[in-house]
Structure 1
Amino acid sequence: MLQKLLIVGFLVLIVYNLGAGLYYMLVDKGGSRRMVNSLTWRIGLSVVLIVLVVLGIWTGIIQPHGVQP
């Protein structure tokens, strides 16, 4: 259950940073680096999430399964 909460938490942070980047793009009109920083955080969080999922599968903590017909 903790793994699912961690993944959902990362996804929420990623979507938040994506929305913040959109907001800063519309409000700042290129006047600051807030949009770039927000999107950089989003990319970093996405990479960390992918690495954690791969490590979880590799160590056996996460059990991947196929879709049942």
Structure 2
Amino acid sequence: MTDHWIIKLFIYALMLGIVFSLGSGMYYLLFAKEQSQKTVKALTVRISLSIGLFILLFIAFAMGWIRPHNLLP
């Protein structure tokens, strides 16, 4: 079976984007003067990335591109 490294790369990129968006939302919440709009935008991006990651994981698992812990034949 071939290793689908492109899918894993997308998964890691989305996870990194989620962490970055969460950090920027925390920064805007703590230090920005116009915190409301920037915080909401950063957290909206985080939620969108999380939903996108969830959908990508479902599709990749259904297509057989990824397997959880290589347990399935």
| TM-score where L is the length of structure 2 | 0.79
User: How many corresponding residue pairs?
Assistant: 67
Superposition deviation, residue 27 in structure 1: 1.4
- For residues 12 and 31 of structure 1, the distance between their equivalents in structure 2, rounded to whole angstroms, comes to 23
Counting aligned pairs with the same residue, the percent is: 39
Unaligned runs of 5+ in 2: none
Alignment of 1:1-69 (within 5 A): 1-29=5-33, 31-65=35-69
Superposition deviation, residue 49 in structure 1: 0.2
Unaligned runs of 5+ in 1: none
Q: CA RMSD in A?
A: 1.8
Question: Residues 14-61 of structure 1, C-alpha deviation per residue, up to 9 Å, x if partnerless?
Answer: 000000000000112554400000001001100000000001111112
- For residues 31 and 10 of structure 1, the distance between their equivalents in structure 2, rounded to whole angstroms, comes to 24
Letter in 2 for 1:46: S
Q: Which has the higher helix share?
A: 2
Q: State the 4+ residue runs in structure 1 displaced beyond 6 angstroms.
A: none
| TM-score where L is the length of structure 1 | 0.84
